[in-house]
Amino acid sequence: MKQTLFDKIWDAHVVQEVDEGPTQLYIDRLYCHEVTSPQAFEGLRRRNLKVFRPDKVICMPDHNTPTVGQELPIQDPISKHQVDALEKNAKDFGLTYFGMMNPKNGIIHVVGPENGLTLPGMTIVCGDSHTSTHGALGAIAFGIGTSEVEMVLASQCVLQNRPKTMRINVNGKLGSCVTAKDLALYIISKLSTGGATGYFVEYAGEAVRSLSMDGRMTLCNLSIEMGARGGMIAPDEVVFDYVKGTEYAPKGDEWDKAIAYWKTLKSDEGAQFDKEVTIDATKIEPMITYGTNPGMGMGITQSIPDLKNESFSKSMEYMGFTAGKSILGQPIDYVFLGSCTNGRIEDFRAFVSIVKGRKKKKDVVVWLVPGSWSVLNEIKEEGLDVILEEAGFEIRQPGCSACLAMNEDKVPAGKYSVSTSNRNFEGRQGPGARTLLASPLVAAAAAVTGEITDPRTLL
């Protein structure tokens, strides 16, 4: 029987199936951060259980970590408590822990792939919806709840209902200044935030194959924003080259064996998906959101549609926008480059390509936050930090930062923020903050002009 990529990996990890119930699925890697894991560890203590396979668990604080002064004690008491609790839990249960200032610290969805902890063919979970990022390497990766984190800690398995499968084919080539972020926002705008609910998505087609590893992670990262259980891309030479030589990747003969297996991880010709969608890459321009969910996006030269419903009206009132209007030229107050969506080296290169030779707009607050210490080191090795400093920008320390209001990097009420992160919900970047999601190129254009600007006009 012909199988999809998802079928091949899922079936290889089934421990048992419950009649008219969920599947017991073996998990290759559990990532734990400080937000969703404390109750799971307390559950183990109450039941006097150990972690079943501690070598399969990686712990790392990222949501609550400050992006300035990480070498100092955390000032916010709630953030400090959560980070300290993760460190204690990792120590008590004998787990690998990459704490603040550790060279392997950063955002867990950036650090995992860059160190070879994420590999093709794996099943990967974390108490975080954007675990879908890891699917870019040809893995089944999805977010789970706290009780499920406890389940995996105790048994290295999780109970899951098998999702349906969807393939999104992106035909043609992406145009000038159109990035993986724009592709993702375009797909979400067409399918809506619920258009992939119940599905695991495989991305395919010429435009997807042309994406770099960083771009593929951006695309899979945003799968959850259209309701998908996760997103994935069949591994190829781009993936193999990215993984080879990383610390935790197979070595020697084991590498050869791994490559032989990884090359089988693709959907069979004629494999049936529950749903297929086709996208024309040539119709996509740089994107920007105008509302309060990631599905409310449009091409940057377009005008806000008039949807005439209560939810749309509420969103427009919150954002201070009007249907039928363009937002080109809209003044902005904050710019955020970073997050598990766009905090990798390619994103900083893109940002620099716009700001080089220009100056930061004086009244705009700009947070440039690499996704890991490794990314920060690459920025310095390539001299990007020098170009940014000459343009008036400052690079911060790694962390989730202004993606969500769980640390010190909060956007004030009523202020407009062009953000390369993944969610623009009301209050996501701070109570009352107004977020416009965009690519690093659009963010850079806003940072040097002080308003929403089509990056194609600056290149």
Domains in the chain, start-ordered, CATH in brackets?
1-284 (3.30.499.10), 287-457 (3.30.499.10)
Cα–Cα distance for residue pair 58/403, rounded to 1 Å: 22
Across 311-331, average pLDDT: 97
Cα–Cα distance for residue pair 310/338, rounded to 1 Å: 32
Q: What is the DSSP string of 317-364?
A: HHHT--TT-B-TT-B-SEEEE-HHHH-SHHHHHHHHHHHTTS---TT-
Enumerate residues 6+ apart whose C-beta is below 8 A from 68. 396, 397, 408
Q: Where are the alpha helices (DSSP H) in 135-243?
A: 146-155, 180-191, 206-209, 213-221, 237-243
pLDDT in tens, 230-270: 999 999 999 999 999 999 999 999 999 999 999 999 999 99
Mean pLDDT of the chain: 97
Q: What's the token pair of residue 140?
A: 């089944």
Q: How confident is the model at residue 167 (pLDDT cuts 50, 70, 90)?
A: very high
Quick one: pLDDT at residue 362?
A: 95
Query: If we measure between CA atoms, which residue out of 287, 280, 141, 327 comes closest to residue 224?
Result: 141
Letter for the amino acid at 118?
A: T
Quick one: pLDDT at residue 286?
A: 98
Q: How confident is the model at residue 282 (pLDDT cuts 50, 70, 90)?
A: very high
Q: What's the token pair of residue 313?
A: 């009206």
Cα–Cα distance for residue pair 36/173, rounded to 1 Å: 39
Residue 373 CA from chain centroid, whole number:
17
The phi and psi torsions of 208 (rounded to 5 degrees) equal -70, -45
Letter for the amino acid at 10?
A: W
pLDDT in tens, 39-82: 999 999 999 999 999 999 999 999 999 999 999 999 999 999 99
Enumerate residues 6+ apart whose C-beta is below 8 A from 9. 121, 122, 123, 138, 139, 140, 265
Q: Where are the alpha helices (DSSP H) in 210-278?
A: 213-221, 237-243, 253-262
Does the pLDDT at position 20 exceed 90?
no
Quick one: pLDDT at residue 284?
A: 98
Quick one: pLDDT at residue 459?
A: 87
Does the pLDDT at position 18 exceed 90?
no
Q: How confident is the model at residue 158 (pLDDT cuts 50, 70, 90)?
A: very high
Quick one: pLDDT at residue 337?
A: 98
Query: If we measure between CA atoms, which residue out of 137, 145, 135, 143 comes closest to residue 201?
Result: 135
Largest pairwise CA distance in the chain = 64
- Cβ-contact 152, 69 below 8 angstroms: no
Across 423-450, average pLDDT: 98
Does the pLDDT at position 391 exceed 90?
yes
Across 397-404, average pLDDT: 97
Q: Where are the alpha helices (DSSP H) in 15-66?
A: 38-46
Q: How confident is the model at residue 221 (pLDDT cuts 50, 70, 90)?
A: very high
DSSP element (H, E) containing 389: helix 384-390
Does the pLDDT at position 433 exceed 90?
yes
Enumerate residues 6+ apart whose C-beta is below 8 A from 149. 30, 32, 36, 37, 40, 125, 127
Q: What's the token pair of residue 214?
A: 């960083």
283: number of Cβ within 10 Å? 11
Q: How confident is the model at residue 278 (pLDDT cuts 50, 70, 90)?
A: very high
On whether the pTM is more than 0.95, the answer is yes
